Structures are given as structure tokens and as C-alpha cells.
Structure 1
Amino acid sequence: MSTTVIDIPSDSPFGIENLPYCVFSPVGHAPRVGVRVADTVVDLAATLLDPVFAEPTLNAFMAQGLPRWKEVRRQIVDLVTSDISSTAIHPVSEVTLHLPIAVADYVDFYASEHHATNLGRLFRPDDAPLMPNWKHLPVGYHGRSSTVVVSGTDVIRPCGQRKSPENADPDFGPSRRLDIEAELGFVVGTASRMGERIDHDAFAEHVFGVVIVNDWSARDLQSWEYVPLGPHLGKSFATSISPWVVPLLALEAARIDTPIQDPEPLPYLRGQQKWGLDVDLAVEWNGHVVSRPPYAQMYWSPAQMLAHTTVNGAAASTGDLFASGTISGPDKNQRGAFIELTWGGSEPVTVGSETRTFLEDGDTVTISACAPGPGGTRIGFGDVHARILPATPVRR
């Protein structure tokens, strides 16, 4: 049997400090679980020989819990730093990457004070930008798990009811204000029972890893439908996630305090552990970087989001995905949604040789992310990308 040692450049964002998981298929083979090392994918079904790695999703492995996640991480480090079977190693460029989890449930939050303030000023110019509840709890909405798709999946422009301010009645048609939301998503590995609450400081016992999220938004559909019950068709048509699930265990060096929270949150939203994260994102529109949102600015932490999600006794399931909401900083070039970046369409941005306000058919968006790792290394998340296709014709 031929063996080799994987060449891991010292500056690779996918070194042994990271080891993100994926579900992939080599040419002619069924999907299985792998781990990325530098520019290769290591087949865990062929090397660690646990049946969970032959599954087409990460769910069975994630359900094994934190002690097992730590044990496997140690095994992978030993595996990839010594001789390994050449047949278990595949160049990233030669495999197909799949949706890494079977999404059980999807919740999207609204955790950036800068984003919420900007939208408040846009939508309610004569009122306070933040609603009275915003600094007391992580605001969120329940999304649609069936339309969570992996990076590279085309997004079809959605149709729905739209109402322009100058018109008395709504009409129907393709969204004219198609937008993005640059976010991070958190994947639940260890479930909880109905009636249980997940404590703030139990976050790492339940959350397996992190992905990049683009929560596509049809702003014209959303603005007409969201009063009084919240987003529905303006959000449910597509949510894209990156194929690499960065283990929470790889992000120890990225943990920071959240910004000062005033007023102090209620006790169930407080804990001893800090779960702010120093993650930098970049948003490319047709290949041009237009924004660099900083996750470090997020007001509510993912530990607070999960604590709030379960405080009423709602169960968490293996494969649950909850996202941060749009990541925006205080500066214009840190805004993670085009509705903010173009200030509702009134301030077009230059994208190469063209100007844009909202997405046009054929546009592509790529969101990437990285974080500090131990010893000055960098942790890469890869990217999530997609192209916009025209709306599907409506049959009369």
C-alpha cells in the first residue's frame, strides 16, 4: 500500500490547528465525511473506520458528543502528521462538496447593533432605530430548513407580493431588491430534551462547529409582509452555507468578550465564559470586495442565542442551524448587507466598471472568513458563493 505525508505549508489556513469537516464524494464514490488538511481532503471513512464517517452527513458523528469530538480531533492530528494511505487523500479541486449536515431546524438572529440600527433608520426614520426589546434579548425568526443549500448552488430570484410606496395596492412579480446577509452559522451537535434549557456556559457541550452563511433576502417582499408577524417569503427561498464546518474546538484563540451590554442582560443570558468571536469576513460582488464585516462587533454572542432559543423549553436537535444575523461594523465598508451598503438603494456602489444597488440576474456573491488560531496561525472557513438566476416564469 502506497503511503505519503501531507505537505502542510506553515501559513495554510487549513493546518492542524483548524481541521474543518466536510461531506464530500470522490469521483465515482458515494458521499462520506472528510476533513480538510491544506489543499486536500482526507477520507475519514477509509482511515478512522468508524461507520459514522461513511454517512452522507455529519449528524451521526455530531450526535456522539463533545468527548468523542475531542477524541477524534486527536486521532486526526496523529493521522495527518504521519504516513497516510495515498488512496485516502484527495485534492480539494477534484472532489464534490455536499451540504455537510441534515438541517433539522433553522433560526436566524438579528444580533448586530450596527445592522439593526441602520435598518431601523432606513425603515423607521421618524422613530428610535432600535425597538424597545432589542437590548434585552436576541431577536430572531424561525426560518425554513428545507431551503438551506451548500455553497455553489445557484439561487433563483424569488417572486412574491411587492408594494411600492407610490402604489395603493400590492402587485406580484420577481423581487426587485434582492439582497444578501453575511453571517456566521452555528451547528448543534448534542441535542437537548423538550423542557430542558441549555445554560449559557454549556454552549460548547452542544455546538459542534461554525459555517459561513448567506441568508438571501428579498427586501421588497420582506418590507410588505413582515408587519406584524415577521419575515416569511422574503427569507424562505434560499439560505446558503459553506461546505466546511470549522470545529468550535478550533476557535479557542478567537474567543473574545462581546461589546459592553447595557442594560445588563437577564441572568439566563449571562455566564462566566466569553463567547464573542474575532472572525473577519469579506464580501465579494462579481469578484470585487465591497465589504469587510467584523464579527467581533456583534452585540449578542452565539451562547446567548442558544440559551435564549431553549429558555422556553424548546428542544435543540442534532443538525439544528442557528445564524447570527447580518454582521455589520460601524464603518460603511463593514456593512454586511447591500441594503445598508447602498443605504436603501440611494447610494449605489461601484462594482468593477458598473454600479449596483441590489442584485441583478447573473451576479455572483462570495463571502469568506478567517479567524486567529494558536501561535499566530490563521483559521480559514473557506467561502460560500452563489450566482443569481432569473425568476422562474409563473404559469397563468
Structure 2
Amino acid sequence: MSRQIDERIEKDSKAINELVAKMPRWEELPVRQITWQQAVDMAMKDNQEIRNLHTTIDSAERYARSIYTDLIPGVNLYSSMSQSVKELANAVTPDDISYNINILFNLPSISQLPYRVYEAQARVYAAKKNLEVKQRDLVSKLYKFIRTSELTKKADKLEREKIGLEDREWKLGALQQTRDDLDRTEWAELCTLLGNQEARWLIIPETVPNLDWNRYKKACRHLDPLSVAVLAMGLEQVRMERYQTLMQYLPQLNMNLYSPSLFSSTGGTYGGTFLNSSDMTLNTNASLQLDTRLNIWNQYKTREEAYEAKKRELKFELMRRLTRVDQLMRSCQEFETWKSVMQKTVVHEAGFTPQTGAEFLEKRKRNIEMRADVLDKEKKKVEGEAALISEYGLFSQ
């Protein structure tokens, strides 16, 4: 067995190495520009996490359907052959083989059926809400990636402006190498978001929508419905665990109907049934578990305490989210005010003419530092914007 595993792993490893050998290098990939909307559409279609969640939804829906398809009668096919060892040398004829066909009706416990239906529907609902959350989070990450990448390139340009004539050539070369390494890192991150690594993707910054702050101000007065639904599903899950424990006190009643052979063939003799009442067999069983050791009761009390704790935690979570949203909005607004002041300062200082070379260099250095400071703080603002998109969705102008 160990040898078979080694051979299988070796074969798979060879296939993986061949795949790696065929993959193009970053330098060989074509450069393709796409718009914001094209990037979003690509991500919603090809992002692996999104695809996995679609699979989860399909699985949950299949499970929900199985509750009803389990009520469909099952058909069992049997065949057998019985022959002495001495006669095995002779040719096997159809008369030596027996065939049977039966139908089995399984009826699940009536006490369990409503819970199974509700639990299956809740599973589908939760999977779809998780998909919506992931889609919103993916848009937030794309927005943050593009805005941050654009600001980083502007910061790189300022770094080049800071380089003096001394050792300019090798310093520019070092900056370019750093830029190339960063491009590769960003490309890998973007490919993961888009779910596609066929090109060096460049998302046109001008196509990224501007945020509508008036809508965010209105939305921030309350929690987003999607966020509330996700929190409610977490609470409902704990409640259902408590309910599931109580169901162990209910009696279990199971029934099945089993038919004799609808068709049988043994040694050339045929038989069967017409499924009338005299042919069918009804099997029923009922059971009731007595909680003499109070195990079920103790489990119920534990889950009841967990449910009450979850409700208390929910209050603090609501407070935390509202506080965080207020802080994000205030931080973004304060940055815009500060940025406006800094830009006016830059313009104001540009109006002064330096009298000496030293004053010119000092003025140039201070100008670059102020612009770099604006870019650095704007990156933090982008993080706040991305957090708002993740919380409320993308509100664009």
C-alpha cells in the first residue's frame, strides 16, 4: 500500500511540475488594461472564494431538496448465484442466477421533520448571506488595492524627485528594482482578487467610482441590513442548538413500507406482486428516551446559558460597530479638511521666490515632504473608505 501511495504522489508531483514549467513568467505576460467594472465582473465570476461560496450554496440547496426526495420510494435490485464448486466448470445459464426487485418507503420521524426542513432552509439562507458579505468584502479589497497602488506610485515619483545629482544613477536603479518587486507583489495580489493570472492587469484609476459621502452619512445613522442579518443568523444558530436539545425529549416514530419482490426469477421460475394491501408490510417503531441521568437537561441548560450570553455579546457588538463607523466617518472628514489646508500651504509656499540656492533646496525639500505626508495620510483614509464599503457597500456618485 505504501508503494502505491508513493507512486501516486510521484505521478501527481510530476504533473504539478509540468504545470509549473508551462506557466509564463511575470515578464512574459501581456499587459492588459481593464476598467473598474470589468475588474469587478471578473472577480465576481472567477475569484476562488466566491466560487467556493457558490458551491456551498449549491450543496445547501441539494441538502434542502434531499429532505423531500428522501420521501421518494427506493427501488432495490438484487441478483445472486448459487452453484456448487463442482459445477463451476460448466457454463452458467440464466436459470442459475436469481433476480429480485423491491420497493422500500421510508417515512422520517414526524417529530424531526419540521426541524429538518427549517434547519435546511436556514442553511441555504446563511450561505447566500455569506456570499453577499464576501462579494461586498471583495469590492472593498479591490477599491483599496487600486487606490493604494495609485498613491504608492505617486509616492515613488516623489522619491525620485528627492534624489540629487550625486549618485543619481544607482539610486534611480535601486528605486526601479524596488518598484519592479512591488509590481510583482501587487500583481500576485490582484490576480488572487480577480481569480485570473493570464495577464499583467492594470485597472484604469479614472474608472474607479468616487464615493458618495452624503449617502454614507445617512447610512451611518443605523447598521446595514446585511450586517444585521448576519448577526441575527449567529443568534439564531445558538437558539436552534438549544431547540435541538429539547427535541430529544420528543418520542421518535419511524415507519417504512416494504414490498415483497415486484419481480423475481429463480431457476427459470418467475413471480412477483401487484402491490395490494396483502402484499405490503408496514414496519413501525416508536421510542422515547428517558433522561434519568439528566444529561439532556444539563446540555439544554448549557446551551440556554450560551444563548443568553450570545444576546449580551450582541449588544456590545452593535455598540462596537456603531462606534467604529462614527470614527471612520469622522476620520475621513478630518482628513479632507487637513488635506485642503496642506494643499493651500503648498500653493502658498510656491509663491515665494528663493533668494539663494540653499533656500531653493530647502523649499524644494519641504514641498516634497508635505506632498509625501499628504499621500501617506491619504492611504490611511483609503483604509477607512474600504472599511465603510465593507460595512455598507459601495455608494458611488
Instruction: Name the TM-score class by shorter chain.
Output: under 0.3
**TM-score, with normalisation over the residues of structure 1?**
0.21
Bigger-Rg structure (1/2):
2
Whose helix proportion is higher, 1 or 2?
2
Whose strand proportion is higher, 1 or 2?
1
Greater RCO, 1 or 2 (C-alpha within 8 Å, sep 6+): 2
